[in-house]
Amino acid sequence: MCGICGKIHPDSDRVTETLIAGMCNTMAYRGPDAEGLWCSRQRDGSGVGLGHRRLSIIDLSEAGRQPMCSEDGSVRVVFNGEIYNFKTLRNELKLKGHRFRSNTDTEVIVHLYEEEGLAACRRLNGMFAFALWDCTQRKTLALPGSARHQAAGLLLGRRAIFVCFRNQGDFDRSGGPETNGRNSPSTLFGL
């Protein structure tokens, strides 16, 4: 079982590779095969970071490393679980001109999102959790559990997700998000 994490904060200085690597380290037991992270400063000064601990199952090559991105880098995703119908979806996407660099179900999420946007979630059959950052639209999609019977948006399902809104945007590792009664556009998740 892989582990995924990430953070979005209005101040990019609060989203560092060190922070994301630390989040990944707390779940090293979930993915002993590899660690990957991506951080970016957005045009408005905000920051986005995604992290992944990998347990290699489907594609054991380096091409299956995460966070994974689209060809142009505009879509980034971290994923845990299994999409049962990914081969069917992959074949459909290839017929539409999408090029794949790996044999993973993760990459299907990237291309399906490029093709169908948020509606892509309804086509995924499996048990999974993922977080996707759309650099162009500046949107985050965090989807745990099966998407088949859930509406679009931030969905809560079979896997645990923590979303923290607060001024400092830090994670209290003693048991979950610590909000201290503050609400601001800072998001942190760990799956």
Whole-number Å distance between alpha carbons of 160 and 137: 26
Which residues are known to be catalytic?
Answer: 2
- Cis peptide bond upstream of 144, omega within 30: no
Whole-number Å distance between alpha carbons of 98 and 112: 9
65: DSSP letter: -
Cα dist from 23 to 45, 54, 84, 126, 168, whole Å: 22, 14, 28, 26, 16
Residue 9 phi, psi dihedral angles, 5° rounding: -145, 145
Whole-number Å distance between alpha carbons of 75 and 126: 21
| DSSP 3-state of 26 | coil
CB atoms within 10 A of CB 17: 12
Residue 39 phi, psi dihedral angles, 5° rounding: -130, 145
